[in-house]
A and B are shown apart, each in its own frame.
Chain A
Amino acid sequence: MQFDLGTTRDGLKDIKSRMAQGILAYPSPKEFLRNYSDMVDGLVRKAFQQAQSQVSTPSVCVIAIGGYGRAELAPCSDIDLLLLYPSSQKEQLPPLVEKVLYPLWDLGLDVSCSSRSISECLKMAQSDLHIKTSLIDGRYLDGEYDFFRKLYDLFSKKVLHRKVRKFGESLAKDLYLRRQKYEDPAYVLEPNIKEGEGGVRDFQIGRWIVRAKYKTDRWDSFLFPDHSRTLDKNLQFLWAVRNQLHLLSGRRQDDLTFEWQEKIAPILGFSPGARGIEDMMRQYHLSTQKISNFVDDVLERVLYEPSSFKKTFLFFQKKKIDPNFGLARGELTLLDPITFKREPAQLMTLFQYLQVSHGRMHFRTEEAVMEALPFMDDRLRSSEKVNQTFHSILRTGEGVAAILKKMHNLGFLSRYIPEFSEIEGKVHYDLYHVHPIDIHSLLAVEELEKLRMGVYQKDDLLLTSLIQELEKPEILLLTALLHDIGKGAEGDHSIIGAEMIRQIGSRMGLPKEDRDLMGFLVSHHLSMLETAFRRDLRDEQIILRFANEVKHLSLLKMLYLLTFADIKAVGPEAWTSWKNSLLMELFLKTSHFFERDGVTGPFLKGEEMIQKLKASLPPEIFSEVGDHLPERYLSSCSLGEIAHHIEMARSLEKTPLLVEWEAEKEVRAKVTICTKDLYGLFSKITGCMFLDRLNILEAQIHTWGNGVALDIFWVEDATKGLEDRLQQFQRDLGEVLSGAVALKSLFLQRREMNSIHQKVIPGVPAEVKVNDQDSDFHTIIEVTGEDRLGILYEITETLTDHGFDIQFARISTLGNRIVDVFYVQDKWGQKIEGQQKVEHLKQTLLRRLIA
């Protein structure tokens, strides 16, 4: 037996593809769905009529249910049919069902059909949520109309409008379970249009409940016209995307993956490339947010609205908390609906009450908020009272994130801070940033709040204690909320955002210091992360530079906290102990620096010097050495000296060693030595000085980043042969450094000469202190003892023998007492580790000091 529905599989494909080509010509995506559904109706009817003519059929009725019942049939969605029959004719059904289904299946349609009697339908609808909801949307197609009418009369009376609250609860549970499933960040980037949060299914839940509760098909009957129009647009947008998804993929594809985002955006008129995709996804997220709010709103009505009897009762129970607001059963209510329009400033007061009462907002009050939004103007935004209320909400510190979220959901936040609307729903087209920027910003606030409550105490103890000791947490929260505010514009979002947050701050009437603080934090909100992940934290210069950028310990703390919030709010996987260990290292080193040295002294002097050098040196020379000059060096020499040193360093290519001196009075001289740094250099220099009987009064040794050693000594010779001795010293040092002669052998040669008997004067006790705490980069060794010729050589030789590299030294002689400080590292450029090593060094040093 041949079935003929007037078309073939290929014919249907043609029809579909013609519809697809003309899809943009439909007045709305929903119109397209209806059209497609009408076409399918025709086929089903034909199949049914043919089947009836071929089999001796009982009287039955064909009903379209589910999405098809609503005449919202997406191109590859299931087509659900219900065959309704009188219970006596059950056995005659299977042949009929076959005859209806086969030809439709042959056409490639995804049809499924259930056959039930009226009583079965009702019974199952009572116990099965899915069957109940699919029946709600039932639509008569063909056959005995009486059956259809009878079913729906009974369904309405016995099932749909009974136990509405319980129905709401079951749907709320379904909603909750789905939200949990699709909460995974992967679904935020690649959402599921049907099942995801704010998707098509969510909307249907809202509609079913309206239907059950208010007995009307007009899902928007209780909404304000404006609101319902926007919502309809949002829904149409989802349909438009879903239609394309089905048509392009040729299957029931509801996951809007990157692949399809890329293809669909241009079709829907978004600009090509990443920008267009981001724009489309922004609209997607804005739409789903609205739908999600809608369904929450509807559920709220069903689950919480008390019966009319209770209403009267509650009226008397309601506690008036001020002339405008009342509180009943933890629900905040606006007493007179006109209040907000008359005095929009009360909106902010409402949110403050909401925070204080830890309660919910009555849905009528929520509606009043949304309705009053157009009345929020610039005057309100700069009203002192409103702004102060907002700040006290932030300052209270409890439930701030929840309040901000509520403000955001009701559209209040972006009316109060219009800049915020620019980042609403905006997405980054990449895998790292999971949430749209507005949600990310709200999450950042939430993370800080959790941190402050001690939620992360176990893993992030330091951060927890930092936020708890913060003086103005409200400023940090506001900054977190607005840290990406510049992302709505083109360009560097940190810089743009900093300017914007200053303006917002000034509109809110914040004092200048707070505005500057927020501006600073926003402009630097990526610096800490970049320094921690991309720079060598064992390099003192890096820490110094970062410290100079941050300028103050209190700013450093806030920056660390903001960095935490920013990363944590990116997605659940983003914040790891790995990342934190780098950030913490940077934080601790920089904070030590602030606490010990302060950034104002040597560093600023160093910075100033660099600027001066930049101005006075030829650019090619500056760029060659500028970066290599350590702060300590810059702050201890004059511009003229540094310029001269740079000249010396540049001539090192020709001569490996430069020694210069200026004599003061015949007995004293300042000696400048410039050479390539090598291990034990300082000890060799002091050794040669000892050899040539130059007494060292002071020394500064500097190692530049490019391996140039620049050492400055103040020496003395009591015998008035200074010039000769210095000449001799230069020769000796040259030979020792070039390796022509070993220092030791020079000592042996001139041993007798050096055994000078020195005057006996009151002794100075010898002491060696090893300090491991005061620097994150060096071990500091402080040596005090009695001065004698060659003592510095003995000390430095000991240090060198123990494998310590002297990076910096400050040598001073007070009468017959020396106080020498050495900054040392081991051969690998690390601080000295191991108590034993330190102890051993101490003992040797002490022995040699006393000897």
Chain B
Amino acid sequence: MKKIEAIIKPFKLDDVKNVLSKIGVQGMTITEVKGFGRQRGHTEVYRGAEYKIDFLPKIKIELITPDDMVPQIIENLERGAKTGKIGDGKIFLSPVEEIIRIRTGERGKDAI
């Protein structure tokens, strides 16, 4: 089992959700996050006053999947989230040791 985390642009969420549900991804966790990478924050000016935007708004997606689904999910994630411009985000892949569904106590794949 693997955990896939992706940081994407907020307006790409619908696209990503669509492509992922098409290939049968059942669930994911979405968080509104802020941060910066290569694409820095900036300062906006309105009527002479400066409004600093230090961190840019992004969406974090987290999902857990069996190993065999990983390539397909990542490919679709990339496709869904891409605009080709700076700030498109990143995808992280990491191993997951165990999953437990609290209600039933199921473990492993069954609990995804």
Contacts and interface: CB of A to CB of B under 8 A. Distances in A.
A828 interface: yes
Given A581-B56, A582-B57, A828-B85, A533 B10 contact: yes
Contacts of A585: 44, 53
A536 B44 contact: no
A830 B86 contact: yes
A536 B45 contact: no
A578 interface: yes
A829 B87 CA distance: 10
B30 to A, nearest CB: 12
A829 B40 contact: no
Interface string B41-62: 0001111010101011100000
Interface-centre pick from B39, B51, B55 (highest chain A CB count, 10 A): B51
Contacts of B92: none
A465 B48 CA distance: 12
Contacts of A720: none
A581 B87 CA distance: 16
Given A462-B46, A591-B46, A538 B85 contact: yes
B12 to A, nearest CB: 8
Contact of B86 (A465, A536, A578, A828): A828
Nearest to B46: A588
A719 interface: no
Given A461-B51, A773-B45, A581 B9 contact: no
Contacts of A582: 10, 57
Contacts of A591: 46
A770 interface: no
B92 to A, nearest CB: 20
A349 B10 CA distance: 49
A584 interface: yes
A534 interface: yes
A536 B40 CA distance: 17
A830 B85 contact: yes
Contacts of A576: 32
Given A536-B83, A538-B85, A581 B40 contact: no
Contacts of B56: 581
Interface in A541-577: 576-577
A534 B17 CA distance: 13
Contact of B49 (A465, A535, A578, A830): A465
Interface string A449-472: 000000000000110010000000
A106 interface: no
A154 B56 CA distance: 71
A214 B84 CA distance: 76
Interface in A825-839: 826, 828-830, 833
Nearest to B40: A833
B16 to A, nearest CB: 12
Contacts of B46: 462, 588, 591
B34 interface: yes
Nearest to B39: A830
B34 A536 contact: no
Interface-centre pick from A461, A538, A579 (highest chain B CB count, 10 A): A538
Interface string B67-105: 000000000000000011111000000000000000000
B51 A588 contact: yes
Interface string A569-610: 000000011110110110010010000000000000000000
Classify chain A: how many residues form its interface, as a range. 20 to 34
Nearest to A469: B47
A584 B51 contact: yes
A579 B11 contact: no
B11 A535 contact: yes
Contacts of B33: 578
B106 interface: no
A585 B53 CA distance: 9
Contacts of A533: 10-11
Given A465-B49, A535-B11, A578 B85 contact: no
A581 B14 contact: no
A581 B57 contact: yes
Contact of A536 (B11, B53, B57): B11
Nearest to A587: B46
Contacts of B85: 538, 828-830
A91 to B, nearest CB: 51
A584 B87 CA distance: 18
A534 B44 contact: no
A508 to B, nearest CB: 33
Contacts of B51: 461-462, 584, 588
B82 to A, nearest CB: 12
A677 to B, nearest CB: 13
Interface-centre pick from B14, B33, B47 (highest chain A CB count, 10 A): B47
Contacts of B57: 578-579, 581-582
A578 B11 contact: no
Nearest to A534: B11
Given A462-B46, A773-B45, A581 B53 contact: yes
A582 B84 CA distance: 20
Contacts of A578: 32-34, 57
Given A585-B44, A588-B51, A536 B9 contact: yes
Interface-centre pick from A538, A581, A588, A826 (highest chain B CB count, 10 A): A581
A828 B38 CA distance: 11
A577 B41 CA distance: 14
Contacts of B9: 536
Given A465-B49, A535-B11, A578-B32, A584 B44 contact: yes
Contacts of B84: 829
B44 A579 contact: no
Interface string A650-665: 0000000000000000
Interface-centre pick from A461, A585, A826 (highest chain B CB count, 10 A): A585
A826 to B, nearest CB: 8
A826 B85 CA distance: 10
Contacts of B40: 833
A581 B34 contact: yes
B42 to A, nearest CB: 8
B53 A579 contact: no
B59 to A, nearest CB: 9
A462 B52 CA distance: 11
B52 to A, nearest CB: 11
A581 B32 CA distance: 12
A270 to B, nearest CB: 29
A243 B46 CA distance: 59
Interface-centre pick from A535, A536, A773 (highest chain B CB count, 10 A): A536
Contacts of B44: 584-585, 588
Interface-centre pick from B47, B49, B85 (highest chain A CB count, 10 A): B85
B31 to A, nearest CB: 10
A579 B49 contact: no
Contacts of B11: 533-537
Interface string B1-37: 0000000011100100000000000000000111000
Contacts of A773: 45
17 contacts: A461-B49, A462-B46, A536-B83, A537-B11, A577-B34, A579-B57, A581-B55, A584-B51, A584-B53, A585-B44, A588-B44, A588-B51, A773-B45, A828-B86, A829-B85, A829-B86, A830-B86
Given A533-B11, A581-B34, A582-B10, 12 more contacts: A461-B49, A578-B33, A578-B34, A578-B57, A579-B32, A581-B56, A584-B53, A591-B46, A829-B85, A829-B86, A830-B85, A833-B40
List 9 tightest A-B contacts by C-beta distance, closest first.
A828-B86, A829-B85, A578-B32, A588-B44, A581-B57, A578-B57, A534-B11, A828-B85, A535-B11
